[in-house]
Structure 1
Amino acid sequence: MDMIDRYLNAVAAQLPQDERADIVAELRDLILSRFEAKEEELGRPLTEDEQEVILREIGHPLVVAARYRKGPDSLIGPELFPYWLFGVKAGLLVLLAVQAIGLFIHLISGTDDAGQAISHAFHGFFSSGLTLIGAATVAAAIFEHYEIRPKWMTQWRVKDLGAFGLSDPAAWGVKVDPPKPPKAPKAPWGASRRTEGWPGGEYLFSFLAAGMFVLWWVGVLHFPPFSSIELRGQDAIVTAAPVWSTLFAPILVYALIQMAVDLNSVFRPYAVRIRALARIPIALVGLWLTWRISEAGHWFTLTRGEETARVAGDWSLLDLNALQWVEGAGNLSDVAATLSVVMVWALAISALSLICSIILNLWRLARG
């Protein structure tokens, strides 16, 4: 078998059988004409090395066969690639946020091995990321092969483009250093001052955090379980007080409404007055929930064997002198006292932030 036959056999193996003979015949004529032209130029028959050079100029058999094969020449074509890239970037950023929130909650819940928790978070992100990239690639390849074009690709509207900022790392707080544009003139007082980048990033983080809380609150996620967790170094069980059962439904509804407002803000980040109008009653409900929790006076019970201690208190614990962490964890009552102080201060900070939210949204409602 001469060199031309070996080359054509390699090309034919990649071609559809019903078109193989015609394409191979066309390629054979092309190769023979190239050989004859070169022999006429040199005035002698070509050596094997010279034939090899001409065949390389024609192209690798896989590349040549791809020119004749029907269908797309690439797994993801240039029309679909921007959509694939956006989906992968946005998906990876969402996975990163979810893993970061989960890691934070896991660390503050009292894990014995922080290094292992961080390792699991990295492993979860990379494994989920590879799965996401693979799924996106398979979906894009199917779209490319069967020439599928969903309506959101062909019938898009400008007003629906707000969420495309998801793929901008700067919108997520990632530092980027683009060239500085010329300094714009200062806007007049009262005019709209839109920040650079995509302003929906902060609302997306709030939506994800509220979503993680809702999943944990209803028992889908377990970091830590609501009924009991193991305190680091204490081997103690934390049991919820009755106030949490009483307020279970109001807190769930409150979180779901907060998620709805945040989701609307993701797609409509510049709807300032509508968002402010929704967040004022939400903050008022949050203040009511904070007051109900604080008035209960008893929030958790610690149990270790026969020993028990209550995490309870009132506003009298709002004392800077009380903010002293207990040295050593042998006394369960000391741990309960420390947690009581933390709980009171957390409620106070929550109430203060809600009051500030009401004032800020009233100002936004007035100013737009």
Structure 2
Amino acid sequence: MDLIDRYLNAVAAQLPQDERTDITAELRDLILSRFEAKEEELGRALNEDEQEAILREIGHPLVVAARYRKGPDSLVGPELFPYWLFGVKAGLMVLAAVFALTLFIRLIGGSDNFGQDIAQAFHGFFGAGLTLIGAATLAAAIFEHQGIRPAWMTKWRVKDLGAFGLADPAAWGMSMTGTEAAQPAKTSWMPKPRAKGWPGGEYLFSFLAVGMFVLWWIGVLHFPGLLSIELRGEDAVVSGAPIWSILFGPILLYAFAQMAVDLASLVRPYAVRARAAARIVIAGAGLWLTWVIFEAGHWFTLTRGAETAWIEGDWTMLNFDTLRTLGDGARDLAGVAGTLSVVMVWALAFSALSMAFSVLANLARLARGR
């Protein structure tokens, strides 16, 4: 088998079966014409090295075969690459925030091995990051080779572009510090900037915080020392009252609803009316949960050896005289339970007020549209 046959066989192996004969015949004619032109120029037959040089000029078999293949010849083409890059950057930054927050909670929770926790966080981040990049590349390759173009690529709207701040590290910093983003040079037709920093920042951190709560609520994440109280002598163990088991599902659904609204707000931070309507419903559900918890009256139990004390309360504790005596109780089990009972009553009251204010504020936003 001469060089031309070997070359054409390598090209044919990369081509569809039904096209190989025609394409290799066309290539053979091209190669032979190049050989003949070179032989005429030199006045003699070409040796093997000279034939190799001409074949290299024509191109590597993989490259030549790609010229004849139908469809895209890259995993992620130039049209999809900017979307792929944004998805990877934004996803890596979200992962970094999640792993950093998890590491921070472990450290402040009384970690026994500082170095191991940091190593695990980095290992988890790089593993999750590689998985993210692989998934994004696979999705982009499917889009590229199947000619899929989702509506958000072709029918986008300027007011829905807020989520693109996810890929801007500076925007994350500004959303945390409250500083104002650098604005482009103003012209007479440009409107006044609508907000400071990245408008999706507050929703991102709310999403992450509620996500951490969900992981703790379902038992995936543990905070050492959270369910114990230091007393003189033996520490007291904190256990939940039956009301928390009864409301486990509703509270989990409430948290998922909050995360869904935050996620939607990341994508469309200027969809004010839709977000306001959703937050009214969520705040109403939160008010109902707060009322049910308050009416239960018994929230936690402190146990130290054979001794127990309840963290409990009712409406009669919502007075300033009770609040003024906060912290004056003894440091025994009953005294600590009494202090925590007052704290719990007022915390539930402030939670209810906050949610009621959220309903009113979002009603106003719903009416104004901003």
Tell me the equivalent position of 2:302: 301
Contact 1:227 1:238 in 2 (8 A): no
Deviation at 1:73, TM superposition (A): 1.0
* 1:282-297 matched pairs, under 5 angstroms: 282=283, 289=290
Q: State the partner residue of 1:120.
A: 120
> Secondary structure in 2 aligned to 1:8?
helix
Alignment of 1:224 onto 2:225: no
Residues in 1 aligned to 2:101 and 2:73: alpha-carbon distance in whole angstroms: 41
Question: Once the two structures are superposed, what CA deviation does each residue of 1:211-234 show, in whole Å capped at 9, x if it has no partner?
Answer: 3323533x2x432289985799x9
Label 1:240 to 1:274 Cα distance change in 2 as closer, same or farther (>3 A).
Answer: same
Q: TM-score, normalised by structure 1?
A: 0.67
Residues 139 and 231 of structure 1, relative CA distance in 2, 3 Å threshold: farther
Whole-Å separation in 1 of the counterparts to 2:257 and 2:49: 75
Note the C-alpha offset of 1:301: 2.4
Structure 1 residues 171 and 278: alpha-carbon distance in aligned structure 2, compared to 1, 3 A threshold: farther
Match of 1:40 in 2: 40
* Native 8 Å contact 2:298 2:310 kept in 1: no
Given that 2:95 and 2:125 are in contact with CA atoms closer than 8 Å, whether structure 1 keeps it comes out as yes
Q: CA RMSD in A?
A: 5.2
Give the corresponding residue for 1:158: 157
Letter in 1 for 2:164: G
Tell me if structure 2 keeps the 8 A contact 1:228–1:239. Answer: no
Aligned to 1:24: 24
Residues 158/50 of structure 1: CA separation in 2 closer, same or farther (3 Å cut): same
Asked if the contact 1:162–1:266 (Cα under 8 Å) also holds between the matched residues in 2, the reply is: no
Query: Equivalents in 1 of 2:278, 2:25: separation in Å?
Result: 73
1:173 equivalent in structure 2: 172
CA 60–115 in structure 1, closer or farther in 2 if over 3 Å, else same:
same
Contact 2:160 2:268 (8 Å CA) reproduced: no
Superposed, 1:236-315 pairs within 5 Å as: 237-241=237-241, 255=255, 258-259=258-259, 261-270=261-270, 282=283, 289=290, 299=300, 301=302, 303=304, 315=323
CA distance in 2, matches of 1:44, 1:143: 52
Greater Cα shift, 84-93 or 55-64: 84-93
Write the distance in 1 (CA, Å) between the matches of 2:120 and 2:235. 23
Kept in 1, the 8 Å contact 2:34–2:54? The answer is yes
SS in 1 for 2:239: strand
Q: Percent of aligned positions with the same letter in both sequences?
A: 58
Map of 1:76 onto structure 2: 76
**Structure 1 residues 196, 12: closer, same or farther in 2, change over 3 A?**
farther
Who is 1:135 aligned against?
A: 135
CA contact 1:171–1:201 (8 Å) conserved in 2: no
Unaligned runs of 5+ in 1: 323-331
**For the Cα contact (< 8 Å) 1:88–1:133, is it kept in 2?**
yes
Query: What is the CA–CA distance in structure 2 between the aligned matches of 1:278 and 1:74, rounded to whole Å?
Result: 42
CA distance in 2, matches of 1:317, 1:36: 106
Q: Could you report, residue by residue, the CA deviation over 1:150-177 in whole angstroms, capped at 9, with x for unpaired residues?
A: 44444x24167335415422375158xx
SS in 2 for 1:98: helix
TM-score by length of 2: 0.67
Contact persistence 1:87–1:136 (CA under 8 A): yes
Residues 168 and 318 from structure 1, CA distance in 2 versus in 1: closer, same or farther, beyond 3 angstroms? farther
Cα 1:259–1:171, aligned 2, differ >3 Å: closer, same or farther? farther
Structure 1 window deviating more from structure 2 (263-272 vs 70-79): it is 263-272
Q: Match for residue 91 of structure 2? A: 91
Q: CA–CA distance in 2 between the matches of 1:231 and 1:119?
A: 30
Residues 170 and 197, structure 1, Cα contact 8 Å, conserved in 2: no
1:65 to partner: Cα distance: 1.2
Cα deviations across residues 101-125 of structure 1 (Å, max 9, x unaligned)?
Answer: 3333434444322332332222222
Per-residue deviation, residues 213-265 of structure 1 (Å, max 9, x unmatched) = 23533x2x432289985799x99743235675687678657645644553453
